[in-house]
Amino acid sequence: MNRHSGPGKYTLERFFAGELDQKSSAEVKLHLETCSECASYVKSLDLEKAVYLNKHPYRDWAAVSNIETAEISLLERMKSWLFKPAFYPLYGLALVLCVVVPFIIQKDDPGIQYKGNRGLSFVYKRDGVLHDGATGKLFQQGDQIQLSYSFPDEHYAGLLSIDSKGTVSTYQPVSGGQNLTTYVKECDNCPVSQSIILDGTPGGELIILLIARKELLLDDIRSWAAQVSNNDVNLSDVEKRVRRGLPRDVIECRTLLLQKR
Amino acid sequence: MKTISAEQEKEIRLLYERYSSMVYRRCFSFLKSEDDAWDAVQDVFMKLTDSLNSIQKKESIYSWLLSVSTNYCISKLRKKKHVEFEEEIHSCGTDKKLPQEKNMVIQEVMQHFLNPWDKKIRDVVLYTYFDGYKQEEIAEMTGMGESTIRRHLTTFKRKCSQSGIQMEDLI
């Protein structure tokens, strides 16, 4: 068989051991159909294998070679089972469910919708009692909202709100002045100088804190707010427009969308 | 006593059942004794158990077993100073005869290469004349180029010629 053009002895032995790849194995199989010499050699290997394993089965080899199979403890068996790579995506999902989802649930209180930048927190006073804004429910007329925020550099901060009827309310530092904003050097969770008392307009109240590098004029902001509000009752859409088109000199805008009874 | 995990045991059992008869056949051809061949199988598969993790996946287990079994048998023969070869070379209990000239070549190989001054030449000669493998197969299993294999065989023939054996008549 070694002198013909077909597979050699070594290839036939590897074929017999199942070592050849699919293509080579198929070629050998095809060859065996036509070459009795090679077919006979493979058959002799098969016969020898049967005779040999009958005489020297694996258990004999293991016995004379002093091979012992370790008893694996339940803990180790569990470990090897749990650390299978197939479970990794499941663990990833569990991590998301355990860590990320509770975080989102905690922040997205049903009565308060945070949108965009989360750098705006608040407390509210109802019937003389102060409540944490994160745990609020639906808000009502008379609730007093006190915002606080952080910003690392000096800036000007201005506060306004838009209700479901499109009414724009501004909160000036000096009543009757021309400016909307107050100068702030820097702040770390400091309160906004004005608070908001909710009126009886049903629906929602979009509260906007503008952080600017310059003073913002009241008239400019009012006209900008009227433009973005456009008497739209859907405050989520208004909020999107606020974010898309910030007034000039505004560095950042933080919003809070509250639902009112 | 060597302790292996259940997973290793499963793998070794599979390899033993797949290859042990061929290892036995080869070792028997070298050592001419069933008991010695069985000892060889035990030793070779113990080595396999120890080396299983270090054998690269791309490497053929069979070529690894051939190499280790060759080393074992040569070493065994050297220790026993048993270099005589009988006329008949048995094949796992059958009376399959190898040609006379091949037997002589093997004898020559053993005389010249029993001291492994060049293991590569020894392996090439044994795979060629003892096992009857093709040069391309030897190239595949050893990683040598076919030209290197031819060069080793030429070296061997030259040595045979110097010893008074006419290789041209034998091959």
As a whole number of angstroms, the distance between CA A20 and CA A25 comes to 5
| Mean pLDDT of the B11-16 span | 91
- Each of the 261 residues of chain A gets a pLDDT tens digit; together they read 545 778 999 999 999 999 999 999 999 999 999 999 999 999 999 999 999 999 999 988 888 887 777 766 677 777 777 887 888 888 888 988 888 777 666 554 444 444 444 577 888 888 888 888 764 568 888 888 888 888 888 899 999 998 888 888 888 877 778 888 888 887 888 888 888 888 888 888 888 999 998 888 888 898 898 888 887 778 888 888 888 888 888 988 888 888 877
Instruction: Choose the final residue of a domain: B51, B67, B93.
Output: B93
Residues B6 and B63 grouped into a single domain: yes
Between CA B127 and CA B145 the distance in angstroms is 15
ipTM, interface predicted TM-score of the complex: 0.76
Q: Are both B87 and B131 inside the same structural domain?
A: no
Chain A residues within 8 A of B3 when measuring between CB atoms: 68-70
Q: Which domain holds residue B51?
A: 1-93
Instruction: Enumerate the residues of chain B whose CB falls inside 8 A of the CB of residue A58.
Output: 13, 16-17
B38 with B66, same domain: the answer is yes
* pLDDT the model gives residue A28: 93
The CATH number covering residue B155 comes to 1.10.10
Partners of B20 on chain A (C-beta within 8 Å) are: 52-53, 56, 61
Band of residue B86 on the pLDDT scale cut at 50, 70, 90: very low
Query: Is B162 found in the same domain as B133?
Result: yes
Q: What is the pLDDT of residue A51?
A: 94
Looking at chain B, which residue has its C-alpha nearest residue A65? B42
Same-domain pairing of B50 and B82: yes
Distance from CA of B135 to the nearest CA of A (A): 9
Q: Which residue has the higher pLDDT, B139 or A132?
A: B139
pLDDT digits (tens, 9 = 90+) for A156-213: 999 999 888 888 888 887 777 888 888 888 788 888 888 888 888 888 888 899 999 8
State the Rg of chain B over Cα.
17
Residue B42 with chain A: CB contacts under 8 Å? 61, 64-65
Q: Give the relative orientation of helices A36-55 and A9-17 as an angle to the nearest 10 degrees.
A: 50
Selection from A224, A138, A203, A151 nearest residue A182 by Cα: A151
Give the span between the Cα atoms of B43 and A201, in whole angstroms.
91
Q: Is the pLDDT of residue B119 over 90?
A: no
The CATH number linked to B62 is: 1.10.1740.10
CB of B99 less than 8 A from some CB of A: no
Q: Which of A11, A52, A62 sits opposite B24 (nearest CB)?
A: A52
Distance, CA of B14 to CA of A75 (rounded, Å): 27
Choose among A13, A62, A70: nearest Cβ to B22.
Answer: A13
CB-based contacts of B52, cutoff 8 Å, min separation 6 = B8, B11, B12
Residue B142 and residue B74 share a domain: no
User: Both B3 and B33 in a single domain?
Assistant: yes
Higher pLDDT, A65 or B18: B18
Tokens of A248: 């000039």
The partner residue sitting opposite B9, judged by closest CB among A2, A66, A69, is A69
> How far apart, in whole angstroms, are the C-alpha atoms of residue A252 and residue A17?
71
Torsion-angle region of residue A231: left (phi > 0), alpha (psi -120 to 50) or beta?
Answer: left
CA distance B84 to B57: 38
Instruction: Give the residue from A244, A252, A251, A217 showing the smallest Cα distance to A228.
Output: A244
**Residue at a domain's end among B37, B70, B93:** B93
| Cβ contact A68–B20 (<8 Å) | no
Looking at the predicted structure, is the pLDDT value of residue B27 above 90? Answer: yes
- Put simply, the answer to whether A8 touches B18 (Cβ < 8 Å) is no
Residue that is written with structure tokens 């100073």 in the block: B81
Give the DSSP letter string of B118-142: -HHHHHHHIIIIIS---HHHHHHHH
Q: Judging by DSSP bridges, how do beta strands A129-132 and A120-126 pair with one another?
A: antiparallel
Q: What is the pLDDT of residue A13?
A: 94
What separation, in Å, do the N-terminal and C-terminal C-alpha atoms of chain B show? 47
Q: B82 and B3 in one domain?
A: yes
Instruction: Among B93, B110, B131, give the residue marking a domain's end.
Output: B93
Asked if A9 lies within 8 A of B19 by C-beta distance, the reply is no
Tokens 């051991």, residue located: A17
Contact state of B60 with A14 under an 8 Å Cβ cutoff = yes
> What's the confidence (pLDDT) of residue B165?
60
Percent of chain B surpassing pLDDT 90: 27
In this prediction, residue B97 carries a pLDDT of: 44
- Shared domain for B60 and B18, answered yes or no, is yes
Supply B90's token pair: 């048995």
The reported pLDDT for the residue numbered B150 is 92
Q: Where is pLDDT greater, at B133 or A108?
A: B133
Domain spans of chain A?
Answer: 9-64, 74-105, 112-260
Q: Which of A19, A58, A72 sits opposite B16 (nearest CB)?
A: A58
Contact residues, chain A, for B9 at CB < 8 Å: 62, 67, 69
CA separation for the pair B116, B46 (Å, rounded): 23
For A42, name the nearest residue in chain B, comparing CA atoms only: B22
* Torsional sign, CA A60, B32, B100, B162: positive
**Residue B1's Cα: distance from chain center in Å?**
28
Query: Do B12 and B28 share a domain, yes or no?
Result: yes
Report whether pLDDT(B59) > 50: yes
Residues B1, B64: one domain? Answer: yes
Using CA atoms, how far apart are residues B34 and A48, in angstroms rounded to an integer?
Answer: 14
Q: How many domains does chain B have?
A: 2
Closest CA in chain A for residue B135:
A8
Interface residues of A toward B, Cβ cutoff 8 Å, are 2, 8-11, 13-14, 16-19, 44-45, 48-49, 51-53, 56, 58, 61-62, 64-70, 72
Same domain? For B89 and B104 the reply is no
Task: Band the pLDDT of B58: cuts 50, 70, 90.
Answer: low
The per-residue pLDDT for B85 is 45
By percentage, how much of chain A surpasses pLDDT 90? 21
